[in-house]
Amino acid sequence: DAGVTQSPTHLIKTRGQQVTLRCSPKSGHDTVSWYQQALGQGPQFIFQYYEEEERQRGNFPDRFSGHQFPNYSSELNVNALLLGDSALYLCASSALGQGNSEQYFGPGTRLTVT
C-alpha cells in the first residue's frame, strides 16, 4: 500500500518563475491538503481539495492555485515566485468522504527560490 508521494523532492527556481508540485494520495483517500512549512514555523495550511474542487483555503495569495484530478492526485501551482516562497511544501491526504479527517503526510518538496 503506497503512502503519500510527492514530486519532485527538491526544486530550485528563480524569482518570477512559475512552479508546479505534485502529490499522489494514499490509496483509498479522496482528499488532498497542501501546507507550506517555512523554517522555524509549523506547517501553514494553503488549501484543501475534495471532489476536484477547492474546499477550504488558508491565508495565501491567488498566486497559489491548485487542482485535483479524477484519480484524486493533486497539483500545487505557484506563479510569480518570490524569495519568501522558499519553503518545504507538504501534501497530506485523508478520507474525507468517509468522515475521517486523519491526515497522512508525504515527504514534501523542498522549493528554493533564488
Residues within window 4-23 making contact with another protein, judged by CB under 8 A: 4
Q: Which of 103, 109, 111, 113 binds another protein (CB under 8 A)?
A: 103
Query: Applying CB under 8 A, does 73 fall inside the site for another protein?
Result: no
3-state secondary structure of 91: strand
Check: CB of residue 33 under 8 Å from CB of residue 45: yes
Q: How many CB atoms lie within 10 A of CB 5?
A: 15
How far CA 74 is from CA of 15, 82, 84, 93, in Å, comes to 24, 22, 23, 10
Query: Applying CB under 8 A, does 41 fall inside the site for another protein?
Result: yes
Q: Which is nearer to another protein, 32 or 81 (CB)?
A: 32
3-state secondary structure of 106: coil
Distance between CA 67 and CA 54 in Å, rounded? 8
Q: Which of 1, 10, 42, 71 binds another protein (CB under 8 A)?
A: 42
Closest CB 105 distance from another protein, rounded Å: 4
Closest CB 56 distance from another protein, rounded Å: 5
Task: Return residues touching another protein (CB under 8 A).
Answer: 3-4, 33, 35, 40-45, 48, 55-56, 58, 90, 92, 96, 101-108
